[in-house]
Structure 1
Amino acid sequence: MKKNVFFCLIGLMFLSLNFAFAQEKSAKEIMEERKEIAKLSKKALTEKASKDARKEAKRLKKQGWQIAPGALPLDKQLDKSYLMQYEYDENGYQKYLMGEAISTGENYDGAKMQALELAKQNLAAQVQTEITALVENQVANSQLSAEDAATVTKSIMSSKNLISQSIGRTITVMEVFRTLDNKNKEVLIRIAYNSAMAKQVAKNAVRKSLESEAEDLSKDLDKLLNW
């Protein structure tokens, strides 16, 4: 039951992010959606976190990690992270990619921004790996020459920064910090990003990279990988 409530909540959250673009919606419809989100949010908060989440939260607290003021309790954050990691689309693929990073700074905000950027780079690296695997599979099936595959792989590897910069709004599923002996702040961030959106970002980045040196190959790749 808890998983169903959570998945409904995530779906409604995405709907709420599109309010600005859904001008055809009436003010009444928007208010009804917001009320539903608030209702489900309250129910999710009152439900008890899973045993694994509570156990992990206890371990992290012993290591000095704590939540920022106003953030969800640590066990709730972990529960949210676990649920999203095990959510799959209709084709059996993971619905969300998860990126995690830790950064240290003299102040909380600086460390948080750096950790978020590193987490996005972590996501970009995962996307790179997945797209590279697709290309290698095409080579194995003799649908792409080794030379063309090498060109595509080179473009994929050089597009990491572009992929990272192009990643849009992510979902922060976990945000904790601890104060070190030297008073610096260490921040741990875990983010989620829709896999389908991540792949589209990667496709656009690879296309852009290939257009400058192998436009025909870019078109062939679209056909081979069904892009």
Structure 2
Amino acid sequence: MKKMFVCTFAILCLSANMTAQITKDVRKERQEMRKASKSELNEKASKDARKEAKKLTKEGWVTVPGALPLEKQLDKSYMMQTEYDEDMYPKYLMGEAMSIGENYDAAKMQALELAKQNLAGLIQTEVTALVENSVANKQLGAEEAASLTQSIMGAKNLISQSIGRTIIVMECYRVKSNKNKEVLVRIAYNGAMAKAAAKRAVQDELKDKSEEIHKKLDKILGW
């Protein structure tokens, strides 16, 4: 009984430490983004951002009151898409979607849900690429890689459900001829958290597989 209590206590402590570390990482990331956002307000948007913003404006897209100008939102999106970690894995993954509704809030909620599905598909692609690379590096055999890839491709809905809070980096809308609102959103998700979401989903798909392949999945995802 005492040994069981000690083990349970250790597991709870480990879980608490992991949760605290994730919370700390998210807070640090958002503080850095906030600091960067303040400095970016005083800088001119990139040529590509200004060009795309001009195109979208001609198509009738506008930002909500109080939001950053469209070219600034696009600029931030471009910069986040070019950031990579030391393993050349994207620091942020992006999902984008549009939706139409009678009112703005309903259209935005639907667009966010579709963007999350889009993001889940991108996570699938990135994690599959890591698996394929592991074969080239001889971390996995072809048969093991095929099993993992199959599990990843079958886990899109589970990955979507495992995605935590995302960052809206772009949000605009336009009014259709029937007065409905069409909302366009682009969301970002921390790359490390994206791998964690994929891991949780794939582990569920691999629950009947050997412990060895679970360990290799951990290694591939950098855990």
TM norm structure 2: 0.76
**Inter-partner Cα distance in structure 2 for 1:96 and 1:16:** 11
Of 118, 126, 130 in structure 2, the residue corresponding to residue 134 of structure 1 is 130
Is residue 68–residue 176 contact of structure 1 (8 Å, CA) maintained in 2?
yes
**Identity percentage over the alignment?**
62
How far 1:184 sits from its partner (Å)? Answer: 1.1
Of 210, 216, 222 in structure 2, the residue corresponding to residue 221 of structure 1 is 216
2:187 maps to 1:191: yes
Change (3 A) 1:186 1:200: same
2:89 maps to 1:93: yes
2:153 maps to 1:168: no
Q: Which residue of 1 aligns with 2:28?
A: 15
Is residue 207–residue 218 contact of structure 1 (8 Å, CA) maintained in 2?
no
Amino acid of the structure 1 residue aligned with 2:176: L
Change (3 A) 1:137 1:52: closer
**Inter-partner Cα distance in structure 1 for 2:133 and 2:88:** 19
Q: Which residue of 1 aligns with 2:56?
A: 60
**Inter-partner Cα distance in structure 1 for 2:130 and 2:39:** 41
Q: Which residue of 2 aligns with 1:120?
A: 116
Of 194, 206, 216 in structure 2, the residue corresponding to residue 210 of structure 1 is 206
TM norm structure 1: 0.75
- 5+ residue gaps, structure 1, are 1-11, 18-32
Is residue 140–residue 216 contact of structure 2 (8 Å, CA) maintained in 1?
no
Is residue 138–residue 224 contact of structure 1 (8 Å, CA) maintained in 2?
no
Change (3 A) 1:168 1:220: closer
Q: Which residue of 2 aligns with 1:144?
A: 141
SS in 1 for 2:41: helix
Change (3 A) 1:88 1:136: closer
Q: Which residue of 1 aligns with 2:100?
A: 104
**Inter-partner Cα distance in structure 1 for 2:29 and 2:128:** 34
Is residue 210–residue 217 contact of structure 1 (8 Å, CA) maintained in 2?
no
SS in 2 for 1:46: coil
**Inter-partner Cα distance in structure 1 for 2:219 and 2:192:** 18
How far 1:208 sits from its partner (Å)? Answer: 1.8
How far 1:128 sits from its partner (Å)? Answer: 1.0
Change (3 A) 1:184 1:219: same
Residues matched between the structures, number: 196
Amino acid of the structure 1 residue aligned with 2:216: L
**Inter-partner Cα distance in structure 1 for 2:86 and 2:167:** 21
1:191-226 C-alpha deviation (Å, 9 max, x unpaired): 111111101110121112211x22435435336625
